[in-house]
Homo-oligomer: A and B are copies of this chain.
Amino acid sequence: MCKLFNWLNNKKGKLSIIGLGPGKYIFRTLQAEYALKKADWLYGYYSYINRLLLNKKKIYSDNHFEVTRAHEAIINATNGNRVAIVSGGDSGIFAMSAVVCEEIDQGPAAWRNLYIEIIPGVTAMLAVAAACGAPLGNDFCAISISDNFKPWETIIRRLDIAAKGGFIIALYNPVSNNRPWQLYAAFTIIRRHLSHNTIVIFGRAVGRKNEKIIFTTLANSPPDWVDMSTLVIIGSEKTRIVKRNNGQPPLIYSSRIIL
């Protein structure tokens, strides 16, 4: 009975949506490692798939093809295969989980039978924060400033109220080839509410060989190397720098105490 159940279960397709964490495999959870091994097919963006040295059927696609990727992976899984879609960081934060859910929501009824598992990961803002201290140590917002799927007016309004409300702000998708100016506009909005001495952190390719993490203040223009692999953290008035000795980088943290 149990064996029969297992056999039936194995014949059934399965779709895993896996957050790989940032960069190197040591940032992955054991659960993500296990799910990767179980999958026969891997779907994802080039650079995420390329990090995986596993001997699998790999379907690469560009960042603009999330819906097609989700669609094809769902069909492959409903055909009885063990399929995984991988995201860098966490798949639920501006990544593939919501795309897959929306496809199933709008797709044929049969897709609702599909067995789905979603495996969380360390999202970029947590990794950048840990690399420089505890800048997310108090209430914070995460905002994608890509206006591909929402009006720029909505983004402006959210940046405005987040800064006014004293939230620490994590900006995802700050700059792409098609969106070169949004980050500069975002800084202009935020400067209306926060002191120009507010600490700002830029973390690029965190956890990878070419990791680059710098901090500056809101007075300065964002560096020109900011791209889609960069996560920006804008501190609050409670974000401070602790200078270190022994050549260690400073610790940046946001106090949990607000008087």
Q: Does A210 contact B (CB under 8 A)?
A: no
> Considering the chains assembled together, what is the distance between the CA atoms of A241 and B224 in angstroms?
41
CA distance A245 to B113 in the complex (A): 5
A157-B165, A242-B104 are known contacts. Are A97 and B133 too (CB-CB below 8 A)? yes
Q: Say what secondary structure dominates the interface of chain A.
A: mixed
- Determine if A174 is an interface residue (Cβ-Cβ < 8 Å): no
Contact partner, A131, options B112, B118, B135, B140, Cβ 8 Å: B118
**A141 at the B interface (CB under 8 A):** yes
Q: Is A7 an interface residue (CB 8 A)?
A: no
Q: Are B167 and A141 in contact (CB under 8 A)?
A: yes
User: Interface 1/0s, chain A 224-259, versus B by CB < 8 A?
Assistant: 000000000000000010111110100111111111
A residues whose Cβ falls under 8 Å from a Cβ of B: 19, 21, 25-31, 33-34, 90-94, 97-102, 104-105, 109, 112-113, 115-116, 118-123, 126-127, 129-131, 133-144, 149-151, 154, 157-158, 161-162, 164-167, 240, 242-246, 248, 251-259
Determine how close the nearest CB of chain B comes to the CB of A15; give it in whole angstroms: 11
Given the complex, which residues of B lie within 8 Å of A104, measured CB to CB?
Answer: 242, 251
Whether A102 lies near B253 (C-beta < 8 A) is yes
Chain B residues with CB under 8 A of A29: 21, 26-30, 122
Chain B contacts for A244, CB-based, 8 A? 112-113
Chain B residues in 8 Å Cβ range of A258: 149-151, 154
A125 to nearest B CB, angstroms?
A: 9
Q: How far is the CA of A154 from the CA of B227 in the complex (A)?
A: 34
CB contacts (< 8 Å) of A158 on chain B: these are 139, 165-167
In the complex, which of the residues B126, B157, B165 contacts A123, with contact meaning CB atoms closer than 8 Å? B126
Kindly list the 7 A-B residue pairs having the minimum CB-CB distance in the complex, ordered from nearest. A98-B137, A101-B253, A97-B134, A150-B258, A98-B134, A120-B130, A26-B31
A112→B242 contact, CB < 8 A = yes
Pair A242/B126 contact, Cβ less than 8 Å:
no
Task: List the B residue with the shortest CB-CB distance to A254.
Answer: B98
